[in-house]
Amino acid sequence: MNNAIVIGAGIAGLATSIRLAIKGYKVKVFEANAYPGGKLSSFKLGEYRFDAGPPLFTMPHLVTQLFEMAGVNPKAHFDYEKKEVACHYFWSDQTKFKAYADRNLFLDEINKVFNEPKEKVEEYLKRAKKKYDLTHSLFLENSLHKIKTYLSYDTIDAITKLNCLDLFKTLHQVNEKTFSSPQLIQLFDRYASYNGSDPYQTSGIMTLIQHLEGYYGTFIPKKGMVSITQALYDLAIILGVEFHFNSPVTEIKVVSKAVQGVLVKSEYFQADIVVSNMDVYPTYKKLLPNLKPPNKTLNQERSSSAVIFYWGIEKSFSELELHNVFFSDDYKNEFVEIFKNQKIGDDPTIYINITSKDVPSDAPKGSENWFVLINAPADHGQDWDEIVDKLRKQIILKLSKELKTPIEPLIACEEILTPPLIQKKTQSHMGALYGASSNNSMAAFLRHPNFSSSTKNLYFCGGSVHPGGGIPLCLLSAKIVDELIPKAS
């Protein structure tokens, strides 16, 4: 039986290990942390449970299909439900908008709150769907770095219809041209932050992200986001995958331009296939000392990072949903500060995720577990203690005003995550959540491929490589790697 090694038990590493086990490989996964999941992990503060990382779950079929491939009933290991309201949005002028999952309710609410004609929004969403239909097989489901991808009918069809993709307009330009309401424009601009980018720079093709959320909906796992990790870990165990925690890989051994295995704490493990789920930057810089790194790819602008406050709140707020956004009054400046000045502005947008709305055991009765996220620049050596101290005061002041309730006295417990801590815990270069940013219109083609062009049997998965960050794209990166690797002999 062929040996395969996966470096890192993040969500893409787990999915890759499952796919390789199904293919007949004997799979070992080496993880530096004491737990699986990477960013998609969990912790407790007293009676409050928090999901540490990605709070948004969409396209659940990408999880359940792994069970189906293995011939295992997903319902026995993983369950979730669809949200009727995808997100609740707030503006400082007291405007409020509920993004309903139901298309008709969504359009009615837009018309009522923003006075935008439903037909105009419907047409916008149809164009977003067309972008997705034309490009998903090229940008999301296949390697951009294999010639056969470009010889497919889907790719040729997409190329002949380049004009409708808005590749060379920014997302903001597309939204501003379409709508008259500044608040609706801001709402649709927000989808750039789903992959850590700037709506005033990233390509207009990114309207397809809104299509994905609107078409598939948003979901909540019944045991919290960490249950995605737990379910995939359990499936991998069922399939015979062998996990080694607290076991950082120190080197990928390459001989005559072919992978031979890995070193873990000076112990050698042979492998026919090695897949790195580690951020591609430290993979090259730390694990491949004798391989020339692709510096042009590695040195691209980093995506945004985040400062996250995990707060146990001793009150329940009926006006809040699972997902909530309190918008900045100067959205453009927010992104100028992040990407140009490498700072957090004085009026940042605030995102609050509250899983106890759907998983009551996540907080004591009458209380809530707040995951409060602020988009931040990657770590360039800023004084994060000073930034966090100022930011905490700004957030508490803004939320106290918006919710008409003093927030500070309600905070029963607190944990704070910053970009340097994100790098320390997950090896994400500079704490960037999505690897390289997508601010360049050609960003999809500039991301590192899912394979090494110079080293045989070396592959890459996860948010720092093609097709990008976030749970769905990480799972798709595992699918692409799976299709690149032959069955075990």
Separation between Cα atoms, residue 263 and residue 66, nearest integer Å: 29
User: What pLDDT was estimated at residue 67?
Assistant: 98
Per the CB < 8 A criterion, the answer to whether 462 and 10 are in contact is yes
Amino acid at 354: I
Separation between Cα atoms, residue 6 and residue 12, nearest integer Å: 10
Residue at which a domain ends, from 184, 217, 250: 217
Bridge partners of 186, per DSSP, are none
The total of structural domains in the chain comes to: 3
102: left (phi over 0), alpha (psi -120 to 50) or beta: beta
* Residues 127 and 180 reside in one and the same domain: yes
Per the CB < 8 A criterion, the answer to whether 13 and 39 are in contact is no
- The pTM for the full model equals 0.94
Mean pLDDT by 10-residue block, N- to C-terminus, for the chain (489 residues)?
94 98 98 96 97 94 97 95 97 97 96 97 93 74 50 49 74 96 98 94 87 90 96 98 98 97 96 98 96 92 97 98 98 98 97 98 98 98 98 98 98 98 96 91 74 95 92 95 94
Residue at which a domain ends, from 217, 243, 267: 217
Q: How many CB atoms lie within 10 A of CB 153?
A: 8
* Residues 296 and 402 reside in one and the same domain: no
Per the CB < 8 A criterion, the answer to whether 362 and 49 are in contact is yes
* Residues 166 and 229 reside in one and the same domain: no
Cα–Cα distance list, 106 to 90, 111, 217, 321, 445 (Å): 16, 9, 12, 16, 34
Separation between Cα atoms, residue 455 and residue 258, nearest integer Å: 5
DSSP one-letter string for 369-411: EEEEEEEE---SS--HHHHHHHHHHHHHHHHHHHHTS--GGGE
Sign of CA dihedral 313, 55, 351, 360: negative
Q: Scanning the structure block, which residue is given the tokens 């320390």?
A: 424
- 256 burial via Cβ count (<10 Å: 0-12, 13-18, 19+): exposed
User: What pLDDT was estimated at residue 447?
Assistant: 85
Bridge partners of 374, per DSSP, are 307
φ, ψ at 218 (rounded to 5°): -115, 150
* Residues 210 and 237 reside in one and the same domain: no
Output the CA torsion 154→199→475→355 (10° steps). Answer: -140
CATH number, position 9 = 3.50.50.60
Separation between Cα atoms, residue 265 and residue 280, nearest integer Å: 20
Residue 309 lies in a domain: yes
* Residues 240 and 201 reside in one and the same domain: no
Q: Scanning the structure block, which residue is given the tokens 């801590």?
A: 421
Q: Which two tokens stand for residue 174?
A: 């597309």
User: What pLDDT was estimated at residue 154?
Assistant: 54
Per the CB < 8 A criterion, the answer to whether 40 and 471 are in contact is yes
Residue 295 lies in a domain: yes
Output the CA torsion 331→326→98→417 (10° steps). Answer: 110
User: What pLDDT was estimated at residue 149?
Assistant: 44
Helix 471-484 and helix 11-22: axis angle, to 10°?
30
Separation between Cα atoms, residue 38 and residue 358, nearest integer Å: 23
Residue at which a domain ends, from 196, 217, 238: 217
User: What pLDDT was estimated at residue 153?
Assistant: 47
Amino acid at 70: A
* Residues 317 and 341 reside in one and the same domain: yes
User: What pLDDT was estimated at residue 444?
Assistant: 54
User: What pLDDT was estimated at residue 94?
Assistant: 96
* Residues 249 and 266 reside in one and the same domain: yes
Separation between Cα atoms, residue 487 and residue 489, nearest integer Å: 6
Residue 91 lies in a domain: no
User: What pLDDT was estimated at residue 280?
Assistant: 97
Sign of CA dihedral 159, 162, 167, 171: negative
* Residues 259 and 197 reside in one and the same domain: no
First to last CA, the chain: 7
CATH number, position 213 = 1.10.405
Residue 183 lies in a domain: yes
User: What pLDDT was estimated at residue 441?
Assistant: 66
DSSP one-letter string for 288-303: -TTS---HHHHTSPB-
Q: Which domain holds residue 408?
A: 304-377+380-417
Give the DSSP H or E segment for 263: strand 258-264
**DSSP letter (8 states) at residue 206:** G
Per the CB < 8 A criterion, the answer to whether 392 and 348 are in contact is no
Strands (E), 190-257: 219-221, 242-244, 249-255
* Residues 287 and 309 reside in one and the same domain: no
Residue 73 lies in a domain: yes
* Residues 230 and 332 reside in one and the same domain: no
Cα–Cα distance list, 156 to 1, 151, 153 (Å): 39, 7, 5
Question: At 85, is the secondary structure helix, strand, or coil?
Answer: strand
Closest CA to 214 of 236, 238, 241, 188: 188
Q: How many CB atoms lie within 10 A of CB 61?
A: 12
Residue 143 lies in a domain: yes
Q: Scanning the structure block, which residue is given the tokens 């062998």?
A: 242
Residue 428 lies in a domain: no
Cα–Cα distance list, 69 to 221, 243, 356 (Å): 20, 21, 32
CA-only gyration radius of the chain, Å: 22
Residue 69 lies in a domain: yes
Q: List pLDDT tens digits, range 276-291.
A: 999 999 999 999 999 9
